[in-house]
């Protein structure tokens, strides 16, 4: 179906932070498949993990134990707030599992009337009917109604609105610590701490969507760590598979109390191939010093972007984001900037609020930062002229 506005370019192969098209042209990949290929293309450790598993067993279903699931789940539990994990193939499925955990928790603990979830304006949680119903954005929902009921939306960052929206029916608050598709809008520490406090006060669950922000993207394993809070439920995807379709819903044992045998499932979720890659991704992201290096190079890129905003104030309005989840708010159309960058051999991703997202693989160095800043500078001179 023609549901995508695709750029007319076909990539044949990738190497680290670069992609090569069928004509042999090289592109600096600051799109990373929309924050997915966290370790660039054809990373030897990931290729080795996938091919090794491919020679053993691809798929057995969840009728049987899957050793790779047990190992990856244990590693996720050991490094996060979570006690338990459900594996999926995508972000939307991980998010939807999280939503089911939230509703089931209240039903299993004697409060079945608590089923509504507070969400935020400009949120994005995926493209299932429930996920678009939660986000409510016109461009996502138009023509797909009636929508799934049970979502009360308030302004991102506004704790007063959150408090006013809580009723006896509220089950959870669902938030992206940094809104990605919404335009790289960072939820500040006070806001996230405030949400945790409100959840504790009312006995409701804090459900984080870290599908885009997680797995090292912001310079911490998960973005909520910056605020020093712990969620009850969390959806993860994108970077965790490094390009192999993989998602996960993490939860505390208390929050997942209702998720007993038979309550949820997936044919492919936690497939041995995905688990092998996920485990290899964990090796890389947990390597000593890796997250610090993401933070450092993110700061370096950000300083360069701040410089571009200063030099080209008629083209770039501001820099947003954390770590290597960065956004440039544009004055000309962001889609024009993205297309021109591509012409100059650099890939980026448009986001809401006229922002260009810069989502490089987490392995970039000084050289790629310089290259990106040069391409952005060239585009700024072109459109600002």
CA 226 distance to own-chain centroid: 16
Stretch that binds ligand PLP, among 52-60, 118-126, 249-257, 275-283 (CB under 6 A): 118-126
- Cα torsion at 118, 171, 35, 121 (round to 10°)? 0
Which of the following is catalytic: 238, 290, 316, 322? 238
In the region spanning residues 196 to 235, those forming contacts with ligand PLP, defined by CB under 6 A, are: 209, 211-212
Beta bridge partners of 29: 347
CB of 124 to ligand PLP, least distance (A): 5
Q: How many CA atoms lie within 13 A of 111 on its CB side?
A: 18
Does the footprint of ligand PLP cover residue 176 (CB under 6 A)?
A: yes
- Report the 10 Å Cβ neighbour count for 261: 6
Does the footprint of ligand PLP cover residue 90 (CB under 6 A)?
A: yes
Does the footprint of ligand PLP cover residue 125 (CB under 6 A)?
A: yes
CB of 175 to ligand PLP, least distance (A): 10
Out of 91, 269, 327, 352, the residue judged to bind ligand PLP by CB under 6 A: 91
Which of the following is catalytic: 30, 124, 156, 316? 124
Contact assessment for residue 231 and residue 224, using Cβ atoms and an 8 Å cutoff: yes
Reading the block at residue 150, the tokens are 């049970």
- Cα torsion at 165, 171, 177, 178 (round to 10°)? -60
Is 124 designated active site? Answer: yes
Of the candidates 363, 5, 381, 353, which has an alpha carbon nearest to the alpha carbon of residue 178? 353
- Nearer to ligand PLP by Cβ, of 31 and 171: the residue is 31
Does the footprint of ligand PLP cover residue 92 (CB under 6 A)?
A: yes
CA–CA dist 325, 259 (Å, integer): 33
CA–CA dist 254, 252 (Å, integer): 5
CB of 158 to ligand PLP, least distance (A): 19
Does the footprint of ligand PLP cover residue 243 (CB under 6 A)?
A: no
Is 238 designated active site? Answer: yes
Active site residues: 124, 209, 238
- Binding residues (CB under 6 A) for ligand PLP: these are 34, 90-92, 95, 124-126, 176, 180-181, 209, 211-212, 237
């Amino acid at each position: 179906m023609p549901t995508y506005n695709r750029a007319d370019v076909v990539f044949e192969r990738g190497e680290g932070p670069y992609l090569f098209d069928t004509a042999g042209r090289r592109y600096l990949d600051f799109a990373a498949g929309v924050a997915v290929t966290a370790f660039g293309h054809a990373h030897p450790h990931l290729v080795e993990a996938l091919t090794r598993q491919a020679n053993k067993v691809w798929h057995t279903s969840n009728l049987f134990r899957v050793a790779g699931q047990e190992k990856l789940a244990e590693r996720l539990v050991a490094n996060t707030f979570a006690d338990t994990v459900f594996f999926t193939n995508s972000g939307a499925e991980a998010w939807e599992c999280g939503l089911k955990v939230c509703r089931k928790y209240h039903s299993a603990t004697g409060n079945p009337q608590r089923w509504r979830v507070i969400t935020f304006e400009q949120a994005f949680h995926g493209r299932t009917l429930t996920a678009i119903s939660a986000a409510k954005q016109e461009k996502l929902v138009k023509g797909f109604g009636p929508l799934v009921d049970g979502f009360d939306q308030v302004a991102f960052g506004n704790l007063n609105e959150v408090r006013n929206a809580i009723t006896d029916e509220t089950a959870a608050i669902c938030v992206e610590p940094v809104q990605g598709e919404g335009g790289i809008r960072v939820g500040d520490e006070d806001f996230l701490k405030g949400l945790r406090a409100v959840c504790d006060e009312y006995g409701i669950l804090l459900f984080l969507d870290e599908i885009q922000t997680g797995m090292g993207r912001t310079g911490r394993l998960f973005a909520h760590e910056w605020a020093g809070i712990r969620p009850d439920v969390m959806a993860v995807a994108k970077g965790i598979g490094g390009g192999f379709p993989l998602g996960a819903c993490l939860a505390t044992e208390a929050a997942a109390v209702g998720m007993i045998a038979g309550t949820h499932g997936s044919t492919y979720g936690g497939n041995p191939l995905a688990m092998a890659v996920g485990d290899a991704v964990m090796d890389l992201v947990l390597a000593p010093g890796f997250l610090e290096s993401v933070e450092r190079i993110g700061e370096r890129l950000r300083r360069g972007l701040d410089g571009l905003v200063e030099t080209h104030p008629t083209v770039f309005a501001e820099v947003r984001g954390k770590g290597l989840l960065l956004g440039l708010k544009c004055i000309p159309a962001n889609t024009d900037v993205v297309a021109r960058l591509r012409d100059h051999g650099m890939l980026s991703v448009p986001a809401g609020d006229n922002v260009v997202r810069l989502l490089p693989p987490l392995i970039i160095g000084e050289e790629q930062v310089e290259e990106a800043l040069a391409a952005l500078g060239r585009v700024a001179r072109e459109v600002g002229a």
